[in-house]
Amino acid sequence: MQQLILPVLLASFWTICTGSADWCYQSQFTCDHQCNTPDKWNLAHSDCGGKYQSPINIVTRKTLKDERLTPFEFNNYQQIFRDTIKNNGHSVKVGVPHLSTISGGGLPTTYKAVQFHMHWGKHGGPGSEHTIDGEQYPMELHIVHMKHHYTDLTTALSDPEGVAVLGFFYERSNSANRKYDPITNALRSITITNSNTSLPSISLAQLIPAEQNLTSFYRYKGSLTTPGCTEAVIWTVFENTIPLSMDQLRVFSDLQFHDGKPMVGNFRPVQPLNGRQVFRSGGAVILVSSTLLLAAIATALGLSQPN
């Protein structure tokens, strides 16, 4: 009898400690809470072990310039909306009415915005998911879009190009970015997992750099960066960053995971490229060369000679 009880007890402990849906970030792992860290996500979600996973480290000198990566057209990004901001236990997520759309930028069709969320470090330390030449930024914004004719993300994820995510890095600045006050103020009300609150009116445009500064970006095909890790994402990672003060970056660390521990380090480590090519837009380079061209013409005409 006694010989039977022990294995049964152990088995039930095992279930409690490692429930199959219990994925977590490396920062959440403790001996008391042995959840599935990113290296084990594939145990319950096989796609996480796939060949075309995200995020990645972008090695800029290995990127290939692609003239098809023209500037994006942002439609209704100025549209003011109200929605709820939620601590979902992994991040903060804001649902977006499907009115804002993107096209151009080398995308095969029009995609509509579905939600946005962030990934961050500890107290403003390294926390982005993508890295550029090995540099990890303090935070990264993901605006998730799906092809315009789909009505839900689940359906879009069954199309290998069904989802387009725009990724933006945050960078520490000396002054606060007042356009982020609605978000940072709301965080105080949602420190606990699964809590939500309504956001005052905001637009997607106010959260990202000005449109004319969004012509330099990287492009590759990858996956969702959380389980199920579905490989259905056209990734765009912008070169221009969003400024936030240290105080603004720090408030994200006041959020809590479901066990009450600070929600920090909620990023997946970079994944192998496995032969994928990363492309870069021509935008910035073209701007520079036309400026140089004008300068050359001006010089030739003697316009820039003051004497």
CB nearer to ligand NAG: give 17 or 286.
286
Residue 268 engages ligand NAG in binding (rule: CB under 6 A): no
The yes or no reply on residue 86 touching ligand NAG (CB under 6 A) is yes
Residue 45 in the binding site for Zn ion (CB under 5 A): no
The region of 120-128, 142-150, 191-199, 288-296 touching Zn ion under the rule CB under 5 A is: 142-150
Helix/strand/coil percentages in the chain, nearest 5: 25, 25, 45
User: Which residue, among 128, 109, 126, 110, has the nearest Cα to 118 in the 3D structure?
Assistant: 128
Is 84 a binding residue for ligand NAG by CB under 6 A? The answer is: yes
**CA distances (Å), 41 to each of 32, 106, 126, 152, 225, in order?**
19, 31, 22, 24, 11
Write down the catalytic residue from 33, 45, 90, 142.
90
**Distance (Å, whole) CA 117 – CA 34:** 25
Task: Return the one option of Zn ion, ligand NAG, none that residue 196 interacts with (CB less than 5 to 8 A, by type).
Answer: ligand NAG
- The gap from C-alpha 245 to its chain's centroid, in whole angstroms, comes to 19
Does residue 209 touch ligand NAG according to CB under 6 A?
A: yes
C-alpha distances (whole Å) from 248 to each of 120, 143, 161, 182 are 12, 19, 34, 11
- Whether 111 and 145 have beta carbons less than 8 Å apart is answered as yes
Residues 141-160 that bind ligand NAG (CB under 6 A): none
In order, the DSSP letters of 152-218 are: SHHHHTTSTT-EEEEEEEEEEESS--GGGHHHHHHHGGG-STT-EEEPPSB-SGGGS--GGG---EE
Verify binding: residue 90, Zn ion, rule CB under 5 A: no
- In the complex, minimum distance from the CB of residue 145 to ligand NAG, in angstroms, rounded to a whole number: 19
Any catalytic annotation for residue 90? yes
* Interface with ligand NAG: number of residues (CB under 6 A): 6
- Verify binding: residue 213, ligand NAG, rule CB under 6 A: yes
Question: Of the two residues 215 and 225, which places its CB atom closer to Zn ion in the complex?
Answer: 225
- Among ligand NAG, Zn ion, none, what binds residue 30 when CB lies within 5 to 8 Å by partner kind? none
Q: Judged by CB under 6 A, does residue 210 bind ligand NAG?
A: yes
**Is 130 a residue that touches Zn ion (CB under 5 A)?**
no
Q: Are strands 242-245 and 163-173 parallel, antiparallel or unpaired?
A: parallel
Q: Does 142 bind Zn ion (CB under 5 A)?
A: yes
252: which residues sit within 8 A by CB, 6+ positions away?
A: 92, 118, 120, 139, 187, 263, 264
Which residue's entry shows tokens 């960053």?
A: 241
Q: Which residue is nearest to Zn ion (CB)?
A: 142
Judged by CB under 6 A, the residue of 36, 128, 196, 230 near ligand NAG is: 196
H helix or E strand, kind and range, residue 234 = strand 233-238
The interface region with ligand NAG, picked from 39-47, 209-217, 226-234, 274-282 by CB under 6 A, is 209-217
Binding segment toward Zn ion, per CB under 5 A, in 14-22, 48-56, 102-110, 138-146: 138-146
Which tokens in the block code for residue 188?
Answer: 């105080």
Enzyme catalytic residues: 90
What residues line the site for ligand NAG (CB under 6 A)?
84, 86, 196, 209-210, 213
Interface residue list for Zn ion (CB under 5 A): 142
